[in-house]
């Protein structure tokens, strides 16, 4: 099916009092559960990093999510806008904020468990592994924090600068953890591999800023830069191939079935993992700041022309397109036959993965550029209104 789908209007507001009421809350421990909302289980499942897995597929085939009558179970206000995507592990949610802090919240009721101030904005999405939270900051460091207490276990200067006038540059990229190694890029035009104990394994120059999460699959790290997609060996960081895709890669690569999928300033591009050869290219007519998600032979991606598109993973043919009210810079999450995605029009959309039919749409108080985490019939979502939300359905 192609063309914009007819939209069934199920417009809801966040919570009983609405998003505006939540934005003014300041009590960190308050449980904001609306009347009639289902309880969130303490043993809720896992969404451990951006894109759910090390390959950044954005797909969790064994998970389920709510589809209709979605309401706010709880909301927690940070100090500023939130563009970091939440990670959920062992009943806790971890997320960064433009107020410079990393937060750990109860996934059950949103109560703050701890927060840690860094020296810069935290737009990086945390990755959680082995009881440690890994996250980058605009202060130039990759942080390793105790998941239970927030205590700094170590800091790595991922944003080290070769310019004598600049100490460090931003680490806005989200880290990816695979097989005991943390991979992270920075504005210093490099990717680093760091052991989970903080020991540097290697650093590789990329020739351009790396502002998104690396994808790791089958012994290779894939990153996007100011114009290239680069493949590096996980063993030593040696370059396997680099391909100029024509425009800046602003979203994270996703890897599935021998193909790397990336968005550029005007296209979605599919490259072979073997040698980087181009398999297909789909013109969007607008920049693609969102990271693609891949599930069951389909690529789902948002664009700046106010739409979410579904493309055949094999050939790039458009299967459907759904129009929102503004740019879509949120990376989709594909769970239970549905696509969960945010838009700059302030809404979370739940779309049928098969044909793009809207199942539900729910408004927040700001643009939603964070990617949802969908676990055990709960959507965890961050918004440009400064709030983190736990969303459920009766």
Dist CA 228 CA 226 (whole Å) = 6
Q: Which residues contact 151 (CB under 8 A, 6 or more apart)?
A: 145
* 2 within some domain: no
Dist CA 366 CA 386 (whole Å) = 8
Q: What is the pLDDT along the chain (394 residues), one digit of tens a residue?
A: 444 343 333 334 344 323 333 332 233 444 344 434 678 999 999 999 999 999 999 999 999 999 999 999 999 999 899 999 999 999 999 999 999 999 999 999 999 999 999 999 999 999 999 999 999 999 999 999 999 999 999 999 998 777 666 778 899 999 999 999 999 999 999 999 999 999 999 999 998 899 889 999 999 999 999 889 999 999 999 999 999 998 889 899 999 999 999 999 999 999 999 999 999 999 999 999 999 999 999 999 999 999 999 999 999 999 999 999 999 999 999 999 999 999 999 999 999 999 999 999 999 999 999 999 999 999 999 999 999 999 999 8
Do residues 346 and 76 lie in contact, with contact meaning Cβ atoms separated by under 8 Å? no
CA-based nearest residue to 354, from 337, 341, 342, 372: 337
Q: What is the CATH number of the domain that holds 204?
A: 2.130.10.10
* 1 within some domain: no
* 79 within some domain: yes
Please name the residue ranges forming H helices in the chain.
19-23
Query: Exposed/middle/buried for 329, CB within 10 Å: 0-12, 13-18, 19+?
Result: buried
* 176 within some domain: yes
DSSP for 301-352, please give it: EEETTTEEEEEETTT--EEEEEE-SS---SPPEEETTEEEEE-TTSEEEEEE
Mode of pairing for the β-strands spanning 11-13 and 358-363: parallel
* 382 within some domain: yes
Do residues 115 and 103 lie in contact, with contact meaning Cβ atoms separated by under 8 Å? yes
Dist CA 349 CA 332 (whole Å) = 10
CA-based nearest residue to 389, from 376, 90, 368: 368
pTM score, whole prediction: 0.91
Phi, psi of 21 (to 5 degrees): -70, -40
Dist CA 237 CA 384 (whole Å) = 35
* 354 within some domain: yes
Instruction: Give how many domains the chain has, as a whole number.
Output: 1
* 94 within some domain: yes
* 4 within some domain: no
Which residue range(s) make up the domain with 159? Answer: 11-392
Q: Distances in Å between the alpha carbon of 161 and those of 135, 141, 316, 324?
A: 19, 12, 39, 40
């Amino acid at each position: 099916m192609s063309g914009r789908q007819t939209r069934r209007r199920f417009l809801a507001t966040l919570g009983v009092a609405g998003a505006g009421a939540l934005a003014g809350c300041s009590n960190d421990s308050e449980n904001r559960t609306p009347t009639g909302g289902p309880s969130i289980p303490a043993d809720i499942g896992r969404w451990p990093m951006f894109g759910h897995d090390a390959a950044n597929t954005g797909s969790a085939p064994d998970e389920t999510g709510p589809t209709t009558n979605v309401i706010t179970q709880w909301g927690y206000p940070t100090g500023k806008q939130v563009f970091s995507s939440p990670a959920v592990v062992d009943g806790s949610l971890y997320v960064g904020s433009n107020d410079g802090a990393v937060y750990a919240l109860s996934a059950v009721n949103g109560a703050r468990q701890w927060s840690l101030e860094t020296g810069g904005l935290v737009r990086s999405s945390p990755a959680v592994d082995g009881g440690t939270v890994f996250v980058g900051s605009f202060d130039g460091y990759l942080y390793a924090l105790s998941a239970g207490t927030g205590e700094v276990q170590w800091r790595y200067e991922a944003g080290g600068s070769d310019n004598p006038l600049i100490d460090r540059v931003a680490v806005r990229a989200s880290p990816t953890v695979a097989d005991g190694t943390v991979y992270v890029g920075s504005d210093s035009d490099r990717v680093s591999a760091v052991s989970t104990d903080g020991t540097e394994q290697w650093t590789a120059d990329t020739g351009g800023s790396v502002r998104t999460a690396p994808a790791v699959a089958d012994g290779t790290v894939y990153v996007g830069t100011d114009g290239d997609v680069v493949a590096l060996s996980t063993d030593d960081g040696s370059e396997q191939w680099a391909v100029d895709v024509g425009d800046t890669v602003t979203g994270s690569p996703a890897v599935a079935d021998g193909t790397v999928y990336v968005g550029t300033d005007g296209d979605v591009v599919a490259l072979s993992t073997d040698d980087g050869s181009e398999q297909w290219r789909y013109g969007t007519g607008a920049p693609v700041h969102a990271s693609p998600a891949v599930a069951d032979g389909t690529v789902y991606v948002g664009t700046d022309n106010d739409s979410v598109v579904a493309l055949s993973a094999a050939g790039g043919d458009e299967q459907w397109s759904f129009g929102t009210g503004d740019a879509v810079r949120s990376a989709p999450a594909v769970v239970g036959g549905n696509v969960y995605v945010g838009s700059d029009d302030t809404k979370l959309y739940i779309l049928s993965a098969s044909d793009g039919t809207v199942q539900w749409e729910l408004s927040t108080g700001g643009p939603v550029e964070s990617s949802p985490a969908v676990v055990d019939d709960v959507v965890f979502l961050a918004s440009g209104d400064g709030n983190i939300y736990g969303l459920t359905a009766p």
